[in-house]
Amino acid sequence: MALLEMKQVLMRFGGLVAVDGLSLKVEEGEIVSLIGPNGAGKTTVFNTITGVYEITEGEICFGGERISGLLPREIVKRGVSRTFQNIRLFGKLRVIENALIGAHINMDYSIPDALFRTKKYRTQELTLHKKALEVLASIGLGEYVHEYAENLPYGLQRRLEIARAIMSGAKILLLDEPAAGMNPQESEDLMGFIRSLRDKGYTILLIEHDMNVVMNVSDRIYVVDYGKLIAKGKPEQIKNDPGVIRAYLGDVSEIMGEGA
């Protein structure tokens, strides 16, 4: 059974079909990429999975249970969390504070508990703080715990956004253009980081335009155009698909490299 599965999903906005009968599967422990040109419907796919948009037809399941139709916060509580192409950190808050924000969706203390700092509130906050320190240390942000988020280098801001997603209790991470704006060295570091997340037990669905990243980290790739699936397979298959090369990748013969 797939961890995440989309079954013939249709997303229509009036007369515009943004996702057209798309089916895909992500197995537990995989890194799967979703690629295609701008306007192909990739981010719309993420928005349907996370409940931002209610799908017109089809079904989305997570862990064998239907999640299409649930509210976004309910989907997050199931273990689905995402990042965004444009970083959405609280720059004036410290790294630890940004990480903690991700966890509060699962807290069950009340407003009075917080106002009066009851034992329940203090116990849960202490537990969260310890977890945040562990998560930040595990992804290379341990030494930046008390830094302001806006002062971090760009690549570390990306990691912090992922840390916040992890703190929500994520089982699958939906990463939207994590390499956007990165230089070659930062992209190289990102590839190692994404693999390390998989090694820690996270499943990853990735939208990315950097084909070096896609080809070198993905177990499988789905290719969409105008919301329709046009190809799927392992990186080597996608690399050698004439239609995909012509429409999306151009000459990728040099980007597989030794890391492929």
> In which region does residue 110 sit, left (phi positive, over 0), alpha (psi from -120 to 50) or beta (all else)?
beta
pLDDT band at residue 241 using 50, 70 and 90 as cut-offs = confident
**pLDDT above 70 for 238:** yes
Average pLDDT over residues 196-201: 95
**pTM for the structure as a whole:** 0.89
In this prediction, residue 252 carries a pLDDT of 47
Task: Note whether 1-79+171-260 and 88-170 share their fold.
Answer: yes
pLDDT band at residue 113 using 50, 70 and 90 as cut-offs = confident
CATH class in words for 88-170:
alpha beta
Q: What is the pLDDT of residues 28-87, one digit of tens each?
A: 999 999 999 888 899 999 999 999 999 999 999 999 999 999 999 999 999 999 999 888
Q: What is the pLDDT of residues 221-234, one digit of tens each?
A: 999 988 999 999 99
In this prediction, residue 259 carries a pLDDT of 45
In DSSP terms, 32 is beta-bridged to 205, 220
**pLDDT above 60 for 253:** no
- CB-neighbour burial class of residue 257 (10 A; exposed 0-12, middle 13-18, buried 19+): exposed
* CA 178 centroid distance within chain: 8
In this prediction, residue 260 carries a pLDDT of 40
Please measure the distance between the N-terminal and C-terminal CA atoms of the chain and give it in whole angstroms.
Answer: 28
Break the chain into its structural domains and give their ranges. 1-79+171-260, 88-170
Among candidates 226, 180, 174, 224, which has minimal Cα distance to 202?
174
Sign (positive/negative) of CA torsion 253, 255, 259, 260?
Answer: negative
In this prediction, residue 248 carries a pLDDT of 60
Q: What CATH number has the domain spanning 1-79+171-260?
A: 3.40.50.300
- Range 8-27 burial, b when 16+ CB lie within 10 A, else e: ebbbeeeeebbbbebebbbe
